[in-house]
Chains A and B, each alone.
Chain A
């Protein structure tokens, strides 16, 4: 019985590694995804209809600040989150 549990776990681990490698473009990518990406990826709890959270942001000049709420006026606001890399 223990032997089959071990075999099953091993097969599952191999399947997960292969799956992540395919998604991430290789073993190194799979490691990067597990080590650096997954801990920061959260589905979140916001839903359509929820109040939009506010947050303070720094402007490109590096000194002035504004809040997301300040930019939500009469028009809808499209917010795009992302980074350079």
Chain B
């Protein structure tokens, strides 16, 4: 997503919303989380969510606007967002609805939407940054 942000930030706004953890240590932890040293228990308080979100932003120098969902999971519920999902809103309406992650989470679809609207951004093979699943 960061590469998409870099390519289209002059045309559209980006907002990343932190929702409940997908693979916390006290639930369904993945081996890859241990390998990458991303080990957090499911937050029980909003302060814990804020701390994890800040860890994420600092570790990846994440550039987009960032918001944190309440413990009531209001944003998550409204958008059926968990564990990961992309939407594009235009003039107050849903213009693109991405699939539900992880199996149907395809940032390249959002890129296709943006490319159709603002033109394709091509990268040299040697400098291209691979799209990552992680937000």
Q: Taking beta carbons and an 8 Å cutoff, which residues of A are in contact with B?
A: 25, 29, 32-33, 35-37, 40-60, 62, 66, 68-69, 71-73, 75-85
Contact = CB atoms under 8 A, between A and B. Distances in A.
Given A52-B87, A60-B54, A80 B17 contact: yes
Q: How large is the interface on B (under 10, 10 to 19, 20 to 34, 35 or more residues)?
A: 35 or more
B46 interface: yes
Interface string B7-19: 0100111111111
B74 A85 contact: no
Which 8 A/B pairs are nearest by Cβ-Cβ distance? Answer: A44-B80, A32-B28, A57-B67, A81-B81, A82-B135, A53-B78, A55-B75, A82-B84
Contacts of A80: 1, 14-17, 64, 84-86, 135
Given A60-B53, A68-B75, A80-B14, A41 B83 contact: yes
Contact of B82 (A40, A56, A58): A40
Given A58-B50, A60-B57, A79 B17 contact: yes
A81 B89 CA distance: 13
A28 to B, nearest CB: 9
Interface of B: 1, 4-5, 8, 11-24, 27-31, 33, 38-40, 46-47, 49-50, 52-57, 64-70, 74-76, 78-97, 100-101, 110, 114, 117, 134-135
